[in-house]
Chain A
């Protein structure tokens, strides 16, 4: 299978001496929906900045669809679309002009640029705003504009740096759906986000970066399998006594109608339910206390801090 992104021994030391990347390796296959996660200041944005040449690397190699960003600068850049974390378009330009201008930077003739601008502004639901200045758009519309702009030259690799930050849930869901559609159509996607539920739902593979190092790089499925313990919140129909005790399980009474149960990977939910049922406790609903990926993420990052 073709490699969409190949990063080898990538290092970045800023002018003030801060070592943002300590020689990372990363591979993303064509067609993947890949999550690049990490706490603030871990090196995600520096990595993305180097991939799209907004940051000069100190050492290492970056290839996009086998094009080295140093030796095949133009070909490499043709393959990428970038949606940055912060708004970076001209506030005084009209929405459609932003897209057609961006298309022009990729050498696209005017007629095709107009066609693509219409296509993606319609897909992102902001076609009716095409003739207004971008500064008059709402926050969510600005995010959608940045996605449309990144897609106007139809890149094979789309990089989204926290695309749903500050976006309401309805819009976030419609963006997820849109991203899944373009991924199914063949676009490789790399996503950074602080909404781990988003990464868990969308991404097939994952890398976690912390303090300039990749601390985990595997499939989402494999990563979730490594989860040793899960905590569930159980809502009960009837009242729970203060002195509740379940053999072999760590179950805490939170309030009259809520329990919190921590289960080891080897433990079985059915057996817990049977014991609760024997004690006359009827479960109305059940949910994870925290997102599963979030638990792993915190564990991995904390481990790194301790080391």
Chain B
């Protein structure tokens, strides 16, 4: 397949992915918006007003970056896992598998589909947050870079989950038992400076902490961790997850008999 044909194939997968989540917008775009508004009301307005400041910011201002990141992570992940597993379940994945599309094009087509939804939801949530908090982005480059890299990483994770999944239960286990605890314990709602030393150390093993803090650094200019280290780690995870996803696609594990 020539380069321009590969680009057409990539664009086809990406367009189909975007068309899919736009077609079911009531399931994909509205629920995160409602959830995040509830978070803003409960944690920001009702409880947050009693907490006071955190790292020198209103609690509402402090949690907004974390909540945006939470929406990006969960939506990037769930878009790829549900779309790819849905295609496996209906066997429509065979349409791509019998075609000459190289595996890396399949990989990036699905992953960027997840990134597109993650960013779309992130944008919706950011716009909604303006009704609750003043938002001034301190480092635009860092903010954009970290949100894109995070969406890529969790889209890759969603793809790996979907390849391994044999049932719809399998695609909800990881988000419920792994992703949600990592996000909630990843510094979305608090600074790890509030934790005892031991738990602060344990928290540093959580990769989501680095993403949330790097994003918070981009927006507010504050972070619990070193930003350079955060970027290095996320990039490392992306390289590892890409390699492993490609390995799964190349060997046909769980996809070809």
Contact call A101/B16, Cβ cutoff below 8 A: yes
B residues 67-94 near A (Cβ < 8 Å) are 86-87, 90-92, 94
A105 touches B257 (CB 8 A): no
- B8-22, CB under 8 A of A: which get 1 and which 0? 110111011001000
**Chain B minimum-CB-distance residue to A133:** B23
Number of contacting residues on B, CB 8 A?
A: 31
Nearest Cβ on chain A to B89's Cβ, whole angstroms: 10
For residue A87, which residue of chain B has the nearest CB?
B91
Cβ contact of B94, chosen from A88, A101, A104, A107, cutoff 8 A: A88
Q: Is B6 in contact with A107, judged by CB distance below 8 angstroms?
A: yes
List 12 additional A-B contacts (Cβ < 8 Å) besides A54-B98, A97-B16, A107-B100.
A53-B256, A54-B97, A55-B257, A87-B91, A101-B12, A104-B13, A105-B13, A105-B96, A105-B99, A106-B99, A107-B2, A107-B8
**A104 and B8 form a contact (CB under 8 A):** yes
Name the A residues within 8 Å of B16 (CB-CB). 97, 101
Is B95's CB under 8 angstroms from A102's CB? yes
A87 CA to B12 CA in the complex, in Å? Answer: 21
Q: How far is the CA of A99 from the CA of B14 in the complex (A)?
A: 16
Tell me the chain A residues, 127-179 only, with Cβ under 8 Å from chain B.
Answer: 149
**Chain A residues near B256 (CB, 8 Å)?**
53-56
Task: Pick out which of these stretches binds chain B: A70-78, A181-189, A200-208, A262-270.
Answer: A70-78
Chain A: CB-nearest residue to B97: A54
Whether a CB of chain A sits under 8 angstroms from the CB of B101 is yes
Residues of chain B within 8 A (CB-CB) of A92 are 23
Interface centre among A55, A97, A101, A149 (most CB of B within 10 A): A101
In the assembled complex, which residues on chain A have CB atoms less than 8 Å from the CB atom of B181? none
B102: which A residues are within 8 A, CB to CB? 74
A88–B91 Cα gap in the complex (Å)? 5
Pairwise interchain contact B99-A88, C-beta atoms closer than 8 A: no
Asked whether B4 lies within 8 Å of A107 as measured between CB atoms, the reply is yes
B252 touches A (CB below 8 Å): yes
Q: How far is the CA of A54 from the CA of B87 in the complex (A)?
A: 14
Q: Which residue of A lies closest to B6 (CB)?
A: A107
Residues of B within 8 A of A93 (CB): 92
CA–CA, A149 and B2, complex, Å: 22
**Is B202 an interface position by the 8 A CB rule?**
no
B166 proximal to A (CB < 8 A) = no
Q: Mark B131-144, 1 if CB is under 8 A from A, else 0.
A: 00000000000000
A104 partner, pick from B2, B4, B11, B23, beta carbons under 8 A: B11
Measured CA separation A93–B95 after assembly (Å): 13
In the assembled complex, B178 has its CB within 8 A of some CB on chain A = no
B8 touches A77 (CB 8 A): no
24 A-B residue contacts at CB 8 Å? A49-B257, A53-B256, A54-B94, A54-B97, A54-B98, A56-B252, A56-B256, A74-B102, A77-B99, A77-B100, A78-B100, A82-B98, A86-B91, A87-B91, A88-B91, A89-B95, A90-B92, A104-B15, A105-B12, A105-B13, A105-B101, A106-B9, A107-B8, A149-B95
A-B pairs, top 9 by smallest CB distance, nearest first, are A107-B5, A104-B12, A105-B99, A88-B91, A77-B100, A74-B100, A90-B92, A55-B257, A74-B1
Rounded to whole angstroms, the CA-CA distance of A89 and B102 in the bound complex is 20
Chain B 31-59 against A: per-residue CB contact (8 Å), 1 yes, 0 no? 00000000000000000000000000000
CB distance from A244 to the nearest CB of B (A): 56
Verify if A273 is at the interface (C-beta below 8 Å from B). no
Closest chain A residue, CB of each to CB of B11: A104
Contact of B90 (CB < 8 Å), options: A78, A88, A101, A104? A88
A106 vs B6: C-alpha distance when bound (angstroms): 8
CB distance from B90 to the nearest CB of A (A): 6
Residue A109 is within 8 A (CB to CB) of chain B in the complex: yes
Please tell me if the beta carbons of A105 and B2 are within 8 angstroms of each other in the complex: no
Considering only residues 114-143 of chain B, those with a C-beta below 8 Å from chain A are none
Question: Does A14 have its Cβ within 8 Å of any Cβ on chain B?
Answer: yes
Does A215 make an interface contact (CB < 8 A)? Answer: no
Q: Which of these, B5, B15, B91, contacts A106 with CB under 8 Å?
A: B5
